Amino acid sequence: MADVARLAGVAISTVSRALANPGRVNEKTRAKINAAARQLGYTPNAMARGLRVGKSNIIMIILPGSLYYGASQVIPQVLQSINKSLIQGGYNLMIANLDRDEVSERHILDLAFGGSVRGAIILSSKLPEVDGRSLANSGLPIVSMLLDMSDAGLQSVVTNDREAVRDVTAELIRLGHRRFFYLAGPEGNYHDVERYGGVLEALDAAGLSEDLVHRSGGHLDYQHGFDIGVQAADDFAELTEKPTAVIATSDDMAISFVSRIQRTGLSIPGDLSVVSFDGSPVCEFCSPPLSTIKQPVEEMGRAAVDLLLDAIDQRQTTATVRTVIRSSLILRESVGSPKS
């Protein structure tokens, strides 16, 4: 900073003001300082500034595991939304992990307890806990996103998984479907529990037995979405009494299922209606275009950041611990009435 001040011909304090609060320095002086900073390759040291003022401007994002490279890009889309909102709020995003093994858990907790970060947003996974240390005891403001942990008193931002799937199942029933095939995610997973629960609630409301829905999958995680769809197509082929509607808990499952099932001579939606969850853009360009429940990832990202920054600044917030942002059904050509 002293070098920048010397080159620009101003005091060090003026450089500090120009970089931290540009509006407090006149435009001509600010231009000289910016030119000097560019010439010298100077960038402010955020960590040093944090030490000086006694607080960090870094928000830690905790991922559920390695990034997924399928059609469903919910986590990358959420990260983009969070990053944009944090920058607007004067904070920087730091991805704390690309795995959830013990080494990664320890690293996350070291960051939390070491004062390097100001708050944390955890995506679709439980809080890290190793050797008696838990993120819950770090003293950091924390928001859970894509996983409801409001029962534990943690601010949670989720979508209406159960209601959205219940509504689309009710629509399929209205169209005349009475036998269903459900492509399941990992057994016991929060999203799968909610989404399958929506199917059962719609059947119950229509006076139909849950025996009318056949589950496939449940033994693989969402990283194997395409594999689940392929296996589900093989399971479907073995059924004597064929369902007329398929509900997939992710777009990837539905895409691979449709591709495999069409090779057997069945048509979509003539023989089989298909709807899925996530709202991947590629669904519009499938053959036929795939009906899907679109997750409000941008809105959820903004809501999570707003809640976290409110907690950091100790602003008055509502008593609501669980924030629900509604998903929306995009009906396309993959859904129709059954033949009989």
| DSSP H helical ranges for the chain | 2-8, 12-20, 27-40, 46-53, 74-88, 102-113, 161-175, 190-205, 225-237, 251-262, 297-312
Question: Class of the 161-295 domain?
Answer: alpha beta
> Which residue, among 298, 309, 311, has the nearest Cα to 91 in the 3D structure?
309
The rounded distance, in Å, linking the Cα atoms of 292 and 171 is 13
Q: Where are the domains of the chain?
A: 2-44, 58-159+297-325, 161-295
Residues paired with 92 in a beta bridge: 58
Residues facing residue 180 across a β-bridge: 213, 245
Give residue 9's pLDDT: 93
Q: Per-residue DSSP letters for 49-87? A: HHHHHT---EEEEE-SSSPP-SS--HHHHHHHHHHHHHH
Distance CA 260, CA 230 (A): 6
pLDDT at 238: 94
Q: What angle do CA 198, 62, 78 make, to 5 degrees?
A: 55
**Cα separations (Å) of 126 from 32, 100, 276?**
49, 10, 25
- DSSP, collapsed to helix, strand or coil, labels residue 266 as coil
Q: Cα(185)–Cα(192) distance, rounded to whole angstroms?
A: 5
Question: CA 191 to CA 184: how far, in whole Å?
Answer: 10
pLDDT in tens, the chain (340 residues): 899 999 999 998 898 888 766 777 888 998 999 899 888 877 665 555 555 545 789 999 999 988 777 888 888 899 999 999 999 999 999 999 999 999 999 999 999 988 889 999 999 999 999 988 899 999 999 999 999 999 988 999 999 999 999 999 999 999 999 999 999 988 888 999 999 999 999 999 999 999 999 999 877 666 667 999 999 999 999 999 999 999 999 999 999 999 999 999 999 999 999 999 999 999 999 999 999 999 999 999 999 999 999 999 887 555 679 999 999 999 999 999 998 6
**Model pLDDT, residue 97:** 94
Rounded to 10 degrees, what is the CA torsion of 50, 54, 56, 57?
-80
Q: Do domains 2-44 and 161-295 have the same CATH topology?
A: no
**Residue-level pLDDT at 207:** 97
Q: Cis omega (within 30 of 0) on the bond before 288?
A: yes
Cα–Cα nearest to 56, from 112, 104, 129, 134: 112
Contact indicator for 146, 78 with CB cutoff of 8 Å: yes
Q: State if pTM tops 0.85.
A: no
**Separation between Cα atoms, residue 258 and residue 264, nearest integer Å:** 10
**pLDDT of res. 315:** 73
Which tokens in the block code for residue 195? Answer: 């989404």
Respond yes or no on whether the N-terminal peptide bond of residue 269 is cis (omega within 30° of 0): yes
Instruction: Please report, as a single letter, which amino acid is at residue 307.
Output: L
| CATH for the stretch 2-44 | 1.10.260.40
58-159+297-325: CATH class: alpha beta
Asked if residue 304 lies in contact with residue 82, where contact means CB atoms within 8 angstroms, the answer is yes
